[in-house]
Chains A and B, each alone.
Chain A
Amino acid sequence: DQQVKQNSPSLSVQEGRISILNCDYTNSMFDYFLWYKKYPAEGPTFLISISSIKDKNEDGRFTVFLNKSAKHLSLHIVPSQPGDSAVYFCASPGGTSYGKLTFGQGTILTVHP
């Protein structure tokens, strides 16, 4: 089974600066990861994904880096905006049937104006 862990429950950054959200995983056999953003009382919104054939994937202000040797991935948001304030979850299919996702605990990002 795959486990994904987000060890930082919260992160606070200033508007315009870089936000770096981290995620660790346990099983290197399962090599596809996704990041979701969630506002209170709403469903998560898919942000960006990465597979192990890449070590970086970029989409606008969002870049995900994958360090396979360290079993670690990170989401960079540059520049951070107040509207980015939300809970961010990393997730992995983990080799499960039907593609169900295992989610990390989430990191609350607060971007101050």
Chain B
Amino acid sequence: GAVVSQHPSRVICKSGTSVKIECRSLDFQATTMFWYRQFPKQSLMLMATSNEGSKATYEQGVEKDKFLINHASLTLSTLTVTSAHPEDSSFYICSARDYREGAYEQYFGPGTRLTVT
């Protein structure tokens, strides 16, 4: 159980365009999902916490107008990188909490490699 998927796994886009990344919990309902970004050889940086039916909570320094998060259902959250620039190129990972198990365990998706040219 506790499987999280992400789509796409890899995307290349041109500067100025927008890209949408989907995160799905496949076998459980996730009222809370999280979006992370990982730079090369660095730790995971939490970008925002996504709550079903309400606005996302963004971490300090993360532009909410640039990184749009929508948590439309208990199994789907989306991250849209708007007007992408080369500096937005990164590895984006989502996670979800399965409240049926453990107090704080998060289960991660496989990640999405975004390259902006």
Co-complex (A, B): yes
The interface of chain A, by Cβ under 8 A from chain B, is 32, 34, 36, 41-46, 49, 51, 89, 93, 97-106
Contact of B109 among A32, A43, A106 (CB under 8 A): A43
Whether B106 lies near A46 (C-beta < 8 A) is yes
Q: How far is the CA of A42 from the CA of B91 in the complex (A)?
A: 9
**Chain A's interface: helix, strand, loop or mixed, by majority?**
mixed
CB distance from A15 to the nearest CB of B (A): 25
Q: Which residue of B lies closest to A96 (CB)?
A: B49
Closest chain A CB from B42 CB (angstroms): 8
**Does B34 belong to the interface (CB within 8 Å)?**
yes
Binds A, one of B14-22, B72-80, B96-104: B96-104
Q: Is the CB of B95 within 8 A of A43?
A: yes
B111 to chain A: which residues have CB within 8 Å?
A: 41-43
**B43-A101 in contact (CB<8A):** no
Docked-complex contact A34 and B104, CB < 8 angstroms: yes
Nearest CB of chain A from residue B75's CB, rounded to whole Å: 17
A100 touching B49 by the CB < 8 A rule? yes
